[in-house]
Amino acid sequence: MFIGPPGSGKGSLSKLCVQQFGWAQLSTGNLCRQHIAEQTEIGKEIAFAIKSGNLISDNLITSMVQEWLAEKIGTISGIILDGYPRTVAQARAFDEFVQNKLSGLSLKIIRFYIPDEDLIARLSGRLVCTNKECQAVYSAIPGSLQQPKKPMICDVCGAALGQREDDQLASVRERLLIYHKHEQDLLTFYKNSGKDIISLNAGHPLEEVFKEFKRLLGLETL
């Protein structure tokens, strides 16, 4: 379980884990966009909530995640929960689902930490592949190792890159304010539940973060 603010590198580290370990990545943001694109019943409800200016309900997110997990469990060796759960209500629902359906699951909680000003710089310079099947992430910041090889073109699929509306400066600051409130509640919930929380310094280059992640989890030989 990756707990960290937007822009802290959860998605990028997840992709490295998928490539090196063969794990699966659950990103609720990507999953929401997939459901909307495929016009599933869940996707229609998500789209309606967004158009109405409302937050997507915890119940809707939980249904979507549980459906995804039911398909994946037993077929792969590991799953990364990338930014899920986001709220205590989602965490309680997930714990109940694990106890009832996935009793043999071993859960590791990784908290990504990085100063807000670094996050703001990262997010305001973040580029995302516009191909909904790809969603690869890059950086427009000069000197970044995550810059695309060709300007504004995805290295993976060749589609155009763009910036999400919620990565614009005013939106980024608002997102971080909301995130920190939920993060503190979530960390308190897991601490009170007796769960160990592993801290990961996400302010370093991705290769260093990945190396430290493997060290913390004893995965150096994998």
pLDDT the model gives residue 25: 94
What are the angstrom distances between the C-alpha of 29 and each of 10, 75, 76, 133? Answer: 12, 22, 21, 13
Residue type, 147: Q
Task: Output the pLDDT for position 145.
Answer: 72
Q: Is residue 159 part of a domain?
A: no
Residue 97 domain-assigned? yes
Q: What is the pLDDT of residue 171?
A: 83
150 strand-pairing partners: 153
Note the pLDDT tens digit of each residue in 194-216.
999 999 999 998 899 999 999 99
pLDDT at position 156: 95
* Mean pLDDT score across all residues of the chain: 89
pLDDT above 80: residue 144:
no
Tens of pLDDT, residue by residue over 17-45, are: 999 999 999 988 889 988 999 999 999 99
Mean pLDDT of all residues in 47-65: 87
- Kindly indicate the confidence band of residue 187, based on its pLDDT and cuts at 50, 70 and 90: very high
140 occurs within a structural domain:
no
The Cα 9–Cα 161 span in angstroms is 18
- Asked if the structure places residue 192 within a domain, the reply is yes
The yes-or-no verdict on residue 162 having pLDDT over 80 is yes
Domain presence at residue 20: yes
pLDDT bucket at 185, cuts 50 / 70 / 90: very high
pLDDT tens by residue, 103-134: 778 889 999 999 998 888 888 888 999 998 88
Q: Percent of the chain having pLDDT more than 70?
A: 100
144 alpha carbon, distance to own chain's centre:
21
Mean pLDDT of 55-75: 88
Is the residue at 197 inside a domain? yes
Provide the pLDDT for residue 92.
Answer: 94
Does residue 100 carry a pLDDT above 80?
yes
pLDDT of 173 reads 86
What residue type is assigned to position 170 of the chain?
A: A
pLDDT of residue 10: 92
Lowest mean pLDDT among 90-94, 109-113, 169-173, 179-183: 169-173
Cβ atoms of residues 111 and 189 within 8 Å: no
Q: Which residues contact 51 (CB under 8 A, 6 or more apart)?
A: none
Q: Which residues 6+ apart lie within 8 Å of 205 measured at CB?
A: 145
Q: Domain residues for 199?
A: 2-115+171-217
CATH of the domain at 178: 3.40.50.300
Q: What's the chain look like in SS3?
A: CEECCCCCCHHHHHHHHHHHHCCEEEEHHHHHHHHHHHCCHHHHHHHHHHHCCCCCCHHHHHHHHHHHHHHHCCCCCCEEEECCCCCHHHHHHHHHHHHHHCCCCCCCEEEEECCHHHHHHHHHCEEEECCCCCCCEEECCCCCCCCCCECCECCCCCCEEECCHHHCHHHHHHHHHHHHHHHHHHHHHHHHCCCCEEEEECCCCHHHHHHHHHHHHCCCCC
Is 163 part of any domain? no
Q: Is 208 inside a domain boundary?
A: yes
The number of domains in the chain is: 1
Phi, psi of 93 (to 5 degrees): -65, -40
pLDDT at residue 65 is higher than 80: yes
